[in-house]
Chains A and B, each alone.
Chain A
Amino acid sequence: MSADAALDLNAIVITPENIQFEYRLAGPFRRLPAFLLDLMVRAAVLVALIIFFFCSGITRLLPGLDVFGGILLALSYFFFDWFYGLFFETLWNGQTPGKRISGLRVLSTDGRPISAYQATIRNFLRLGDFAPFASLQMLIAEAPPVYWMPTGGVAILCMFLTRRLQRLGDLAAGTMVVIDERKWVPPKLKLNEPAINALVPAIAPNFRMSRTMLRTVAMYVERRSRVLPQRRRELAAILTKEIIDKVGVAATTDPDLLLCALYKREYDAQWKGNAISDKPIGSDKPTGKEFGSTLASAPRGN
């Protein structure tokens, strides 16, 4: 990425086959909910282990356990805590439960899935990322000098200094955390204005939007309610003035309503089975049935 490129939270990966992928990076604040969720899972497991060891009566059944139960409990939790990230990230292709819920994934910096080796490195270095550790004594003179509070200063500093927002563990393992792109589905929107409904049949049956145009129009229709009416028309006119001849409606048609009508027609065709047919306009020519699948495979940002 050149220094002049507009700043964004993107990482561009070019494969040996010269295919370019663009990933959206997750920084410390995007990762925080996933981290907290994983912390909750680990805490829940710790509580479950305590309940199991001390309340299930297992220590009475097995006499040795009343002596070694505490040690066994500590060891069990130690292994769970240290191998939690390693286990899930290896098994679930770079995701832990927290990351899965938050829509994040760990990838190698070259775009490939992470290996068990990388998962091990990045999870074992988590302790380094938590540093420096603070003690309550730093704030209250009478408190004992036990340095147990992780500040995460190292992680924040590393993410601040690296372009891919990598913490220490990521740097060592050659990984990055990205936002897991879900398949794009056309948003279901209520477009019941009579003027829009009236406009739909007036659209030339042979006019079809390309997949990129459909995504843009979908975005417009989704966000138009937040834009002032006058500005809406200005925005919609940018596109409608180019396509209005092909759409076959009067030149005086309200551009905002026209884009809504175009979207409604495409959406109804896909989701309600109202077939629209004939030859599509544009280089990529999805048929009605291909609608969803072509959109899902369309590259992000188009």
Chain B
Amino acid sequence: MHLDKTAIAITQRNLDELLDLSLAVLRRYGPQLLLAALLGAVPFAILNGLLLSSSVVMKGYLLDQDRWLRFRFLLWMAALVYAQAPLAMAGVTVKLGNIMFGIQSSKQQTLKAIGKQWFSVVGVLAILRGAIPLTALVAAVENLILNRDFADAVGSFWISMIVLIIAAIRSVRPFAPEILLLEKCPMFVFKRKERGNQMRFGQRSKRLHQAGGELFQATFFSGIVAAMFLMVLNLTFIFLVGSLVGAWEWGWWMDLFFYPLALWFIAFWGTILRFLVYMNTRIRGEGWELELKLKAEAIRFQETEARNRVE
């Protein structure tokens, strides 16, 4: 690994610097990452739309202005995107890793990198981290349970529970996508002879997430920033729509199009931020910045000594 040839400078940073840096990364590498983000997000966005739009269109809050239905729709959409984001943004994670160390990768190579780890990716990101269970529950509540009150009560309770569990896990162990896709640690090692050499996901996760308190703090503040960002994006969208067509309120266009778009944008940005926090954790834990500085100092010392000998 050439630490002196990275795309993002290796320096230990605070969270506020990482948040600022995430914007700079988005500006410089956003276009390269956008295709990977779209490939991951669009199928999930369509699925979520199909699952939840029935409550908007069929159950008629548009007609009745049912506030509870609208609130539930917005909340469940956010919950779905939150749970699906690590899985949907797997391509962005791989691409970011490659960009960081100057590796050119095509669409196929990115997909191949994810495909190689498909079992662990599905196991950890899709099942254990709640993407599939939550999607399945929302689908069942929205479309299978006919008793509306029962569906509302049971659905709201269990969806909240699952989201809370996902949030709790992700706040102290956020780097599952990086461990699986960049460090390529599998969930299980099946071959006996590889067991000694290959670090499993669980082992690596335990080692990487040692600073649980700091990670929780970072996740908490990033969450607040993400919520503020989401608010700004939505209000800006309303302003733009209002300026263009004169509709200044939160209408169906916000529910079905701009709000999910804002959520997926936040998921995209959140993936970049998580990658930067991951890099920062490794820079600190493995002393990457120290390594660079010590190497530079060793070279400087050699040069000074050589100069002194000549003199």
A159 part of interface (Cβ distance < 8 Å): yes
| Size range of the chain B interface in the assembly | 35 or more
B294 and A235 contact, CB distance less than 8 A: yes
A275 part of interface (Cβ distance < 8 Å): no
Contacts of B284 in A (CB 8 A): 223, 226
A212 → chain B, closest Cβ, in Å? Answer: 7
11 A-B pairs with C-beta separation under 8 A: A9-B20, A29-B16, A30-B17, A138-B248, A159-B23, A160-B27, A213-B301, A216-B294, A227-B285, A238-B295, A239-B297
Interface string of B4-25 (1 = CB under 8 A from A): 0011111110001101110111
A7 and B295 contact, CB distance less than 8 A: no
B127 part of interface (Cβ distance < 8 Å): no
Task: Return the chain B residue nearest A179 by Cβ.
Answer: B17
B250 and A135 contact, CB distance less than 8 A: no
Of B48-56, B112-120, B134-142, B232-240, the one touching chain A: B232-240
**Docked complex Cα distance between A156 and B269 (Å):** 14
B203 → chain A, closest Cβ, in Å? Answer: 14
**Docked complex Cα distance between A226 and B289 (Å):** 13
Contacts of B300 in A (CB 8 A): 210, 212-213
B240 → chain A, closest Cβ, in Å? Answer: 8
Contacts of A220 in B (CB 8 A): 290, 293-294
**Docked complex Cα distance between A165 and B298 (Å):** 35
Which single member of A9, A138, A152, A283 contacts B304 (CB below 8 Å)?
A: A283
Contacts of A212 in B (CB 8 A): 297, 300
Contacts of A33 in B (CB 8 A): 16
Q: A7-B24, A29-B20 are in contact. Are A153 and B236 (CB under 8 A)?
A: yes
A289 part of interface (Cβ distance < 8 Å): no
A251 part of interface (Cβ distance < 8 Å): no
Which single member of B235, B285, B287 contacts A153 (CB below 8 Å)?
A: B235
A-side interface residues, number (CB < 8 Å): 53
Interface string of A273-302 (1 = CB under 8 A from B): 000000001110000000000000000000
Interface string of B288-311 (1 = CB under 8 A from A): 011101111110111010010000
Which single member of B20, B28, B235, B291 contacts A238 (CB below 8 Å)?
A: B291
B285 and A134 contact, CB distance less than 8 A: no
Which single member of A132, A156, A282 contacts B239 (CB below 8 Å)?
A: A132
Which single member of B20, B290, B295, B298 contacts A26 (CB below 8 Å)?
A: B20
Contacts of A224 in B (CB 8 A): 287
A176 part of interface (Cβ distance < 8 Å): no
Contacts of A149 in B (CB 8 A): 235
Q: Is the interface of A mostly helix, strand, loop or mixed?
A: helix
Which single member of B16, B211, B301 contacts A30 (CB below 8 Å)?
A: B16
**Docked complex Cα distance between A151 and B229 (Å):** 9
Q: 18 more A-B contacts (CB under 8 A) besides A7-B25, A213-B297?
A: A6-B7, A7-B21, A7-B28, A8-B8, A25-B20, A30-B19, A141-B65, A141-B249, A151-B239, A210-B304, A216-B294, A219-B289, A224-B287, A226-B285, A227-B287, A232-B287, A239-B294, A242-B298
B17, B21, B232, B290 — which one has the most chain A CB atoms within 10 A of its CB?
B290
Which single member of B17, B248, B286 contacts A137 (CB below 8 Å)?
A: B248
A135 and B248 contact, CB distance less than 8 A: yes
A27 part of interface (Cβ distance < 8 Å): yes
Instruction: Give the contacts of A204-237 with B (CB-CB under 8 A).
Output: 210, 212-213, 216, 219-220, 223-224, 226-228, 231-232, 235-236
A204 → chain B, closest Cβ, in Å? Answer: 15
B20 and A165 contact, CB distance less than 8 A: yes
Interface string of B36-71 (1 = CB under 8 A from A): 000000000000000000000000000001000000
Contacts of B232 in A (CB 8 A): 151-153, 156
**Docked complex Cα distance between A216 and B295 (Å):** 10
A219 and B235 contact, CB distance less than 8 A: no
B225 part of interface (Cβ distance < 8 Å): yes
A139 and B25 contact, CB distance less than 8 A: no
Which single member of A25, A165, A235 contacts B290 (CB below 8 Å)?
A: A235
Contacts of B296 in A (CB 8 A): 216
B25, B225, B287, B300 — which one has the most chain A CB atoms within 10 A of its CB?
B287
B8 and A6 contact, CB distance less than 8 A: yes
Task: Return the chain A residue nearest B29 by Cβ.
Answer: A7
B298 and A239 contact, CB distance less than 8 A: yes
Give the 3 A-B CB pairs with smallest separation, nearest first: A27-B20, A29-B19, A8-B9
Q: A153-B232, A216-B293 are in contact. Are A8 and B238 (CB under 8 A)?
A: no
B20 and A235 contact, CB distance less than 8 A: no
A167 → chain B, closest Cβ, in Å? Answer: 12
**Docked complex Cα distance between A124 and B4 (Å):** 43
Instruction: Give the contacts of A99-157 with B (CB-CB under 8 A).
Output: 132, 134-135, 137-139, 141, 145, 149, 151-153, 156
